[in-house]
Amino acid sequence: MTGKIDHTSHDEAPVFPSAEFAAQSSLNAEQYRAMYEQSIQDPETFWGNIAQELHWHAPWSRVLDWQEPHAQWFVGAQTNVAYNALDRQVDSGLGEKRAIVWEGEDGEIRTYTYSDLLEQVKRAANALLTLGVVKGDRVTLYLPMIPEAAIAMLACARIGAVHSVVFGGFSVSALADRIQNAGSKVLVTADASYRKGALVPLKGNADAAAQKAPILEKMLVVCRANCDAPMQPGRDVYWHDALERASSEHEAAALDSEHPLFVLYTSGSTGKPKGVVHSTGGYMVGAYLSTKTVFDLKAGDLFWCTADVGWVTGHSYAVYGPLLTGASVLMYEGAPNHPDWGRFWDMVQRHKVSVLYTAPTAIRSFMRAGDEFPNRYDLSSLRLLGSVGEPINPEAWRWYWRVIGGERCPVVDTWWQTETGSIMLTTLPGAFPAKPGTAGLPMFGVDAAIVTRDGHDVEDGQGGLLVIRKPWPSMLRTVYGDDERYVKTYWGEITGVYFAGDGARKDADGYITVMGRVDDVLNVSGHRLGTMEIESALVGHASVSEAAVVGRPDELKGECVVAFVLVQDGHTVDVDELRRHVSREIGALARPDAIYVADALPKTRSGKIMRRFLRQVAAGQEISGDTSTLEDPSVLERLAATVAQ
């Protein structure tokens, strides 16, 4: 752990929900307090009651079994997430309601009712079974934001296969690593995807990844663009052929509550990305309750979570959460600036989106593009806005509230992580005033605290480490194939509590402001990247002997990637080639903004790189802190001069 938790606070005036919004919202402050109190004092009763709102094929014998740090929720119960998201809705009369409204970047629109979606998911489930996928098998999905992504996820859930969605922006190597690590024999991909008017060749990447991932046996290929990708006989099957041949009858498997629902790879401070494993029952209950309460969903809402299914937000709030609550979801394939920065607002107007959930990076980009884009459109259908993925600066918060929300829509800033499965901190929209830049209060069952490195509570207003002291239903269960890493990473840093890397502070009202990572994880445009991953990509290039990567504050992306490299004897460094190399190894999202060639790195006498100083150098700041432990403090001056050039 490194320290950068001493941010100064700046108090923002609270923004109250309108009387109109508060009157129609499902929870007021008093109700929240009573529910929160019960969820902490008597979690078994609280979660047992919430879970009863969903369908269980067999009941639990106990709500929680906690053998720190391993939790089992709804012990012995059986259920199925896809059944709850689809069959249950159709059975309760929502068959003709819109489940997914999808818009391609090229303007194509498709609408699936709950009945349509159920039929597709049943066919896809049968198609997977035909390919030999059985309960417990991992299936990797490398797909664009098209309805088939949600259908494939739900089809896996239906048969008890464990999906592992890999973001379409990841490179061949990153995809191959994830396929191999999860042991997936089947990959679902698409021929291509539209992005900024061009075609992204997903199938080409998948073919190249298959060369590096010998475990892979079958590929199911959705035809999104031209259907002209080369197909390998015996291995590749078109999605539409497989679904057409498959029966539309399928009964959802009754799965143990603790059966894994999905693996999602995410970056940490050390080693390769880890496969975060989520459960069936607990995740379902967490995604369901948070969607319902945070987004205050009503029957007529059209909910648009702009996150890609490649990230956890796309899992919990573009697919599972909203479908579990019977909502209508808008899904969009492409870039926010295609054909121009008005694309989102045009879509809000045309589809009459009522709840919009997006990321601070996007908001800052819209802000920079100018008010004229949103001002061209009628955004009066919006009634609630959300933010996720990184700290939102008060200026961006206020712009979002004023220009997009017309000072009418509450803005919920939601803090959570891949590991937490669902929203952990927020300001419930109708119940409390929001403080711009501050996530807010803990969600139900979340026993959050701000502590020192040795686990003692810090005083209100002081910076510290954000920890969770009790298990919650949607928490990760383990790291795929490496339970020891789970125990050590999440429950071993600070004794007896969950800690996953953020610094925060709490004010006198109990509102928590999350200030950012205190470990070696970068948050670039809301995407998590480990410095180690980028460093190992860099040293994998023949011209680099050593590399150190840090984040530099960036107005648009929150943070950008800065690398310092030492040149391998006998080579010269081509900075552009190195940047391309990182893109090839991980994906364009990890490409360093700057690469500096150095003659040495700031190391302690024991050889540890002091990233703290490198961060200061990268940001062009004065060096502060004790440099006496450095083997050669003069390194910093030379690096600073290089950066300043």
Residues that bind ligand WTA (CB under 6 A): 266, 311-313, 388-391, 413-418, 439, 501-502, 514, 516-517, 523, 528
Single-letter amino acid code for the residue at 407: E
Is residue 69 within 8 Å of 159, Cβ to Cβ?
no
Instruction: Name the residue nearer to ligand WTA (CB basis): 325 or 417.
Output: 417
Instruction: Name the residue nearer to ligand WTA (CB basis): 445 or 516.
Output: 516
**Least distance from ligand WTA to the Cβ atom of residue 413, Å:** 5
Instruction: Name the residue nearer to ligand WTA (CB basis): 242 or 560.
Output: 560
Instruction: Name the residue nearer to ligand WTA (CB basis): 123 or 398.
Output: 398
Residue spans of beta strands (DSSP E) within 55-137: 62-67, 70-75, 78-79, 98-103, 109-113
- Gyration radius (Cα) of the chain, Å: 24
Instruction: Name the residue nearer to ligand WTA (CB basis): 239 or 499.
Output: 499
Instruction: Name the residue nearer to ligand WTA (CB basis): 133 or 524.
Output: 524
Of 421, 426, 401, the closest CA to residue 411 belongs to 401
Instruction: Name the residue nearer to ligand WTA (CB basis): 203 or 477.
Output: 477
Q: Which residues pair with 73 in a beta bridge?
A: 64
CA 623 vs. chain centroid, Å, equals 34
**Least distance from ligand WTA to the Cβ atom of residue 389, Å:** 5
Nearest residue (beta carbon) to ligand WTA: 418
**Least distance from ligand WTA to the Cβ atom of residue 408, Å:** 22
**Least distance from ligand WTA to the Cβ atom of residue 215, Å:** 26
Instruction: Name the residue nearer to ligand WTA (CB basis): 334 or 516.
Output: 516
Helix intervals (H) in 352-500: 360-369, 372-375, 394-399, 483-491
Instruction: Name the residue nearer to ligand WTA (CB basis): 39 or 417.
Output: 417
CA 372 vs. chain centroid, Å, equals 30
**Least distance from ligand WTA to the Cβ atom of residue 280, Å:** 20
Is residue 190 within 8 Å of 148, Cβ to Cβ?
yes
Of 320, 370, 308, 318, the closest CA to residue 345 belongs to 370
DSSP labels for 132-165?
T--TT-EEEEE--SSHHHHHHHHHHHHHT-EEEE
Number of Cβ within a 10 Å radius of residue 134: 10
Instruction: Return d(Cα 174, Cα 169) in angstroms, integer.
Output: 10
Instruction: Return d(Cα 104, Cα 222) in angstroms, integer.
Output: 14
**Least distance from ligand WTA to the Cβ atom of residue 392, Å:** 7
Q: What are phi and psi of 616, to 5 degrees?
A: -65, -45
Structure tokens at 170: 């990841």
**Least distance from ligand WTA to the Cβ atom of residue 511, Å:** 12
Residue spans of beta strands (DSSP E) within 318-393: 328-332, 355-358, 384-388
**Least distance from ligand WTA to the Cβ atom of residue 565, Å:** 26
**Least distance from ligand WTA to the Cβ atom of residue 343, Å:** 23
**Residue 65 exposed, middle or buried by CB count within 10 Å (0-12, 13-18, 19+):** middle
Number of Cβ within a 10 Å radius of residue 502: 21
**Least distance from ligand WTA to the Cβ atom of residue 104, Å:** 25
Instruction: Name the residue nearer to ligand WTA (CB basis): 528 or 611.
Output: 528
Q: How many CA atoms lie within 13 A of 623 on its CB side?
A: 20
